[in-house]
Amino acid sequence: QSIESNTLSIKEEVTDIKLWSAEEPNLYTLLIEVLDKSNNIIEVIQQKVGFRAFEMINNIMHINGKRIIFKGVNRHEFSCYTGRCVSKEEMLWDVKTMKRNNINAVRTSHYPNQSYFYELCDEYGLYVIDETNLESHGTWQKMGKIDSKCVVPDSKKEWRECVLDRAKSMLERDKNHPSIIIWSCGNEAFGGENIYLMSEYFRNTDSSRLVHYEGVFNDRRYNNSSDMESRMYAKVKDIEEYLNNNPEKPFMLCEYTHAMGNSNGAMYKYIELEEKYPMYQGGFIWDFIDQGLMTKDIYGKDYLAFGGDFGDRPTDYNFCMNGIIYADRKESPKMQEVKFNYQNIKIDVNFNSVKIKNNNLFINLDQYDIIWEYLREGNVIEYGKLNIYLEAGNEIEIKLPISKKSNSGNYTVDVKAVLKNDTLWAQKGYEVAFGQDYYEILDNNEEYDGKIIVNDCDVNFGVRGRNFEVIYSKNYGGLISYKFNGREYINEIPKPNFWHAPTDNDRGNSMAFRCAIWKIASLYAKAIDIKISYDEYKASITYTYALPTTPESKCNVTYTTLGDGSVKVKMDYKGVEGLPNMLDFGMMVKIPCVYDNLTWFGRGIEENYSDRNKGARLGVHKNKVIDNLSKYVIPQECGNKTDLKWAKVTDNTGNGLMIAGNNFEFSALPYTPHELENAYHHYELPPVYHTVIRVSLKNIGVGGDDSWGAMPHDEYLIPSNKDMSLEFTIKGI
């Protein structure tokens, strides 16, 4: 077609096209050739394009006619090695990691990204909110409170062209990317006419996308600056209040479940809104990657530095370390929960019956193999593969050809969906979703062979058997020696523990200030009474500990030694009114650090907590004790495991301790909570001399609705006015 002016318009009807979506990122190549009058090619432009429709239908956002749920994350452009200059290899790693963890959307917080990133989103399939480079947070919010006297840009005419220019630059550069489905007017810049005019520019120039701006929540003068109700860190109850009040706009969280340190607790409560409210359309986790810089300590060793480590003052310290991946692009334990919550295939297992729902919008489950496994104590008994043809939005129930076994033990039925073929982002066999069921058959024929020899002396109380010796101190108040097959396992007297090293969320809600009394109680409990009883088969000693709390509280710890060398431990506490919540309720045991191999039956493999264990599957898991020291830049509570039946901590020859119980929580780390708390960087942690075992009835939830005041939800707290009892058994192996 000949060019008669500076503008060329071509309109063609294209048929039999495959639509673009994050699930099926179908792309076509648009080729433009510019020829001179002699038909010589003087310029060639090649552009990948996709066909898709993104629109508001009945106040709900739709992609290609289907209601969309954003399973999103905010992403800063950042490299721990090169700062804001991110390489193509790092961008590709980011996109592949998102796809592997069921993330389907990215908000480019808070500026347009490199063009190559959008090309990857087009190719691999990610929905993008492209955000204008506009943020003026500090002009209107002072120490968390709104002060609108000095807002920029507001409605000030001198800022108007600058604001519109940034919008025009972004739109003109990025408009051909099908992955971009929403333009964003910037971040936390309050409101006013200038931002509204920006939103109108987007709408009038590009009708194929919607417009986002969260700031209208704080300034409703120009409420139409955003096509959707977008909020940050709204609590679930507040979201439900909005959705139950005849809303005109769909709801989206542009930032939520703040991932600072050990966090992302109770994320599942947001996910549950997806099925309950059609106008709830998901959210974007804050954020994807910690913004730390790799540098060296004074001894020349690499470490990830954060605010203040370069002599920079004032600083926000570690407040840019909010990622679900660490700054060196390694996945944090939090990703385990994100992947599960975001999975599009819902698998509900009820022993030999499994319900599978395809929550994808477009793709059939025939792209996946559905693998089932029936396991006892982590060993596969039976397994099989299901070939399922299930269209998007449909569900099916299938019977599995298994029957319950009668042998004692812990059984799981695991069902998982794995890729049937290689993709751009993962190889054949990669797991994208799972579900499981669990049951236990108890051994009711528990027998303890062998008699014991008891020495009830003035200072110590000793118990001996065929291959063990146990000594309890009367004057020091606890277990001072446990020898099994000649090996000593006790480095220090086990003590009741009510504390954990404060997390970033704990610091944000001033937990230490409120609950410090339980740290003191953990360090300085005093045995004030001892009761002893024994016969030729078992011996019991009960310590009553006075806890230095106000008002005073007490707890009892009973050790019962049996003829096979096992020691049953029972910790009892009577609730006391007027005391703050505990952070932990359990026992802490230090053993030699040579026992550095951990095997357990419970949830894993990554750390998990009562409010963050949906993605942690039950089974037998193994790692090294040091692996459980999570790399949050400031050392803090980490490494916990929930719903344990047993755990083994052994050396490389298989000798060690076994801890058994019923649905207890557990951690094995190289450090105590107090050592973790005392270190501001990992390089400040002391040399490793111990393996520190914590056996708990309950560890407080990690929380994460935000990191500047939000508490864990009530059901994940440990109120100190309730009676509590913990039981478990320790035995040498």
Provide the pLDDT for residue 3. Answer: 76
Query: Within its chain, how far is the Cα of 428 from the centroid?
Result: 26
User: What CA dihedral angle connects 553, 558, 559 and 560, to 10 degrees?
Assistant: 180
- φ, ψ at 514 (rounded to 5°): -75, -35
Residue from 229, 255, 637, 677 carrying the catalytic annotation: 255
* pLDDT (average), residues 257-271: 98
Provide the pLDDT for residue 447. Answer: 63
* pLDDT (average), residues 311-322: 95
Sheet with 431-441, side-by-side order of all strands: 379-386, 368-376, 409-419, 431-441
Provide the pLDDT for residue 488. Answer: 97
* pLDDT (average), residues 372-401: 96
Residue from 188, 240, 377, 727 carrying the catalytic annotation: 188
Tokens at residue 605, please? 């493999």
Q: Is the pLDDT of residue 143 over 90?
A: no
Q: Determine the Cα–Cα distance for residues 327 and 304; give it in Å rounded to an integer.
A: 7
Nearest to 526 by CA among 500, 550, 553: 553
Q: Are 290 and 320 spatial neighbours (Cβ–Cβ below 8 Å)? A: yes
User: Among this protein's residues, is 240 annotated catalytic?
Assistant: no
- φ, ψ at 674 (rounded to 5°): -75, -35
User: Among this protein's residues, is 255 annotated catalytic?
Assistant: yes
Phi-psi region of 321 (alpha: psi -120 to 50; beta: other; left: phi over 0): beta
**What are 1-36's pLDDT values in tens digits?**
777 778 888 888 888 999 999 999 999 999 999 999
Q: Which residues contact residue 717 at a Cβ distance below 8 angstroms, ignoring those fewer than 6 apart?
A: 581, 700, 701, 711
Provide the pLDDT for residue 63. Answer: 98
**What are 46-80's pLDDT values in tens digits?**
999 999 999 999 999 999 999 999 999 999 999 99
Q: Are 86 and 79 spatial neighbours (Cβ–Cβ below 8 Å)? A: yes
- What mean pLDDT is reported for the chain? 96
Q: Is the pLDDT of residue 598 over 80?
A: yes
Query: 446 pLDDT band (50/70/90 cuts)?
Result: low
Query: 448 pLDDT band (50/70/90 cuts)?
Result: low
Q: What's the burial of 209, exposed, middle or buried (CB within 10 Å: 0-12/13-18/19+)?
A: buried
Nearest to 644 by CA among 661, 669, 625, 626: 661
- φ, ψ at 405 (rounded to 5°): -85, 160
Q: Is the pLDDT of residue 579 over 80?
A: yes
- φ, ψ at 628 (rounded to 5°): -85, 0
Could you tell me whether strands 127-131 and 180-184 are parallel, antiparallel, or unpaired per DSSP bridges?
Answer: parallel
* pLDDT (average), residues 649-672: 97
Q: Are 388 and 360 spatial neighbours (Cβ–Cβ below 8 Å)? A: no
Provide the pLDDT for residue 344. Answer: 98
